[in-house]
């Protein structure tokens, strides 16, 4: 297997709690995922990314880890994980797993040692600071999940840093022993056969040791922030230059095993520059982009992000996504730009899967799945609860995968941890499989087209100057290049087009005749060059 398999690959994100329950407890598990791997192989993706399944108190649904080298019993056992990897490899699928190494659970034994006193062997494995003279936290840093990023601990009589929940204390990566331990965790999973890692919050590893205050965000904004966190310019609590040397140590280990990496760069300032820095040679292989997870569905935004990346980060590599477990689903987010949900969902598939870079699909998007409307009492997500009723889109997008029209959509024989509601149940795998014109079959066709067309996997991108709402670009050069054209609106558009080209691959609402290219609502057309 080639070590650069990841370049241009398509990865499918699985949220273990919501993919398939094998034992009727209402929570998805590793055995359930293993049983459904043939579906992913048939879909045509290259790799599966598993969100966290490690031992955890589940304060943040597994992103608060209490044991990094074991499986939480709700998901199964290490033997179940080994069986999953073996089955995936038999099917030709790579396995990428999350690593949440910037912080742990407060139930981790290392934190118990660290908070016990100021002189123990792990006293400085986490970030501790004395209060100001008036007892307030040492600086103005804020938590992503609301409130200060500092919590007082009566044992040490100091504050500890947590960029997320109070129950998620941050490791101190200025301590080389912490780095060595983190590398040992990666080696544990590499020895079990994983093909790579997705690094959560990869720009949060280091903090400013001087604990300087963050300045206010300097940007003019047309809408007020839904959380105070967005009101700061995060110069000192994350994005620190020391991170780059640490990423180099990670890469050296991965190269020993021929494994790949992708980093989640959660940052609204200088995002492209950071993605380029983090995925430069000798660091991470690629960076997961947040740049297309917003509500803008215009030709300008897609062109700007792609041109901006390859111009601003020529030595880096992006992984593009339209949705994930933290944001509203694309079919709901962009509904106003589509003539109907299915047509929009198919166009989004064609659009994303024709972009230069690697691609990540969020489970259920291949069904045209929409966000689930939940009542406050149905929420489990601490961020959703804290900022209610803001549409934070975490529980709403994390509801169970729907496999058939049976009870609970075939996800579980018990009561699901989040509800399967009628609107979501109507979009199930069994109801779309083999059905001409379904979103699922369009995804399968588009994935096959990308895999069979070298220009879509490897070709460079050249955008054409077409008027909005048309987005047009060429992938590759010369014979074998492909023109990709999209009408990103529910209205029909006609363009003069003299080239006598024959469409190939999936298409939708587009015709080319008598020198006129007619692009109907949410049209898609691919035109290979001779």
Could you tell me the two tokens for 368?
A: 């045209």
- CA 8 – CA 286 distance, rounded (Å): 10
Find how far residue 179's CA is from the centre of its chain. Answer: 24
Which phi and psi angles does 408 have, rounded to 5°? 55, 25
The DSSP H or E segment spanning 462 is strand 461-463
- 25, β-bridge pairs: none
Find how far residue 67's CA is from the centre of its chain. Answer: 23
- 496, β-bridge pairs: 516
Enumerate residues 6+ apart whose C-beta is below 8 A from 336: none
- Catalytic-residue membership of 98: no
DSSP states of 368-431: T--PPP--GGG---HHHHHTTTS---STTT-SPP--SSSGGGGS-SS--SS---HHHHTS-HHH
- From 530, 499, 493, 492, select the one nearest 514 (Cα to Cα): 499
Could you tell me the two tokens for 512?
A: 């080319």
- CA 436 – CA 296 distance, rounded (Å): 30
- From 251, 127, 115, 234, select the one nearest 183 (Cα to Cα): 251
Contacts 24+ apart (CB under 8 A), 131-137: 131/158, 131/159
Q: Is the peptide bond before 469 cis (omega within 30 degrees of 0)?
A: yes
Among 29, 98, 170, 200, the active-site one is: 200
Q: How many CB atoms lie within 10 A of CB 112?
A: 12
Question: If 0-12 CB within 10 Å is exposed, 13-18 middle and 19+ buried, where does residue 390 land?
Answer: exposed
Distances, alpha carbon 63 to alpha carbons 15, 59, 100, 106, in Å? 12, 8, 6, 12
- CA 192 – CA 185 distance, rounded (Å): 11
Which phi and psi angles does 130 have, rounded to 5°? -75, 155
Enumerate residues 6+ apart whose C-beta is below 8 A from 175: 124, 125
Q: Are strands 318-321 and 493-496 parallel, antiparallel or unpaired?
A: unpaired
Enumerate residues 6+ apart whose C-beta is below 8 A from 42: 444
Among 134, 223, 256, 377, the active-site one is: 256
- CA 255 – CA 149 distance, rounded (Å): 35
- Catalytic-residue membership of 200: yes
Could you list the active site residues?
Answer: 200, 256
């Amino acid at each position: 297997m080639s070590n650069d398999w990841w370049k241009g690959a398509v990865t499918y994100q699985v949220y273990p709690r919501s993919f398939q329950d094998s034992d009727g407890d209402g929570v998805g598990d590793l055995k359930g995922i293993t049983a459904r791997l043939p579906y992913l192989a048939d879909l045509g993706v290259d790799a599966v990314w598993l969100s966290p399944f490690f031992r955890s108190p589940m304060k943040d649904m597994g992103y608060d880890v209490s044991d990094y080298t074991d499986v939480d019993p709700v998901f199964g056992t290490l033997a179940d994980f080994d069986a999953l990897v073996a089955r995936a490899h038999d099917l030709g699928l790579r396995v990428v797993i999350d690593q949440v190494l910037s912080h742990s659970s407060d139930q981790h034994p290392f934190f118990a040692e660290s908070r016990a006193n100021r002189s123990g062997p792990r006293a400085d494995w986490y970030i501790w600071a004395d209060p100001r003279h008036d007892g307030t936290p040492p600086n103005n840093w804020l938590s992503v999940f609301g409130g200060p990023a500092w919590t007082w601990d009566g044992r040490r009589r100091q504050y500890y840093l947590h960029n997320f929940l109070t129950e998620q204390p941050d490791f101190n990566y200025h301590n080389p022993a912490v780095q060595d331990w983190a590398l040992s965790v990666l080696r544990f999973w590499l020895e079990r056969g994983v093909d790579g890692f997705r690094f959560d919050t990869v720009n949060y590893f280091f903090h400013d040791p001087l604990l300087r205050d963050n300045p206010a965000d300097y940007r003019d904004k047309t809408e007020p922030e839904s959380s105070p966190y967005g009101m700061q310019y995060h110069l000192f609590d994350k994005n620190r230059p020391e991170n780059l040397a640490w990423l180099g140590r990670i890469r050296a280990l991965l190269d020993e095993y021929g494994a790949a990496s992708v980093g989640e760069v959660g940052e609204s300032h200088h995002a492209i520059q950071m993605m380029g820095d983090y995925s430069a040679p000798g660091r991470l292989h690629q960076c997961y982009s947040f740049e297309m997870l917003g509500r803008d569905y215009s030709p300008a935004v897609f062109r700007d992000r792609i041109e901006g990346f390859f111009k601003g980060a020529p030595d880096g590599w992006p992984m593009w996504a339209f949705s994930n477990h933290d944001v509203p689903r694309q079919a709901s987010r962009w509904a106003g730009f589509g003539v109907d949900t299915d047509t929009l969902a198919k166009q989004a598939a064609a659009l994303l899967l024709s972009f230069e870079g690697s691609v990540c699909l969020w489970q259920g998007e291949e069904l045209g799945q929409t966000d689930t409307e939940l009542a406050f009492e149905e929420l489990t997500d601490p961020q959703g609860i804290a900022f209610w009723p803001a549409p934070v889109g975490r529980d709403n997008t994390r509801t169970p995968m729907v496999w058939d029209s049976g009870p609970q959509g075939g996800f579980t024989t018990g009561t699901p941890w989040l509800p399967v509601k009628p609107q979501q149940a109507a979009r199930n795998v069994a109801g779309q499989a083999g059905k001409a014109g379904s979103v699922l079959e369009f995804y399968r066709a588009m994935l096959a087209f990308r895999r069979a067309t070298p220009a879509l996997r490897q070709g460079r991108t050249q955008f054409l100057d077409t008027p909005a709402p048309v987005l047009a670009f060429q992938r590759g050069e010369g014979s074998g290049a492909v023109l990709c054209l999209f009408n990103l609106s529910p209205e029909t558009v006609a363009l003069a087009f003299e080239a006598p080209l024959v469409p190939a691959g999936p298409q939708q609402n587009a015709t080319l005749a008598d020198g006129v290219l007619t692009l109907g609502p949410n049209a898609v057309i691919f035109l290979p060059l001779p």
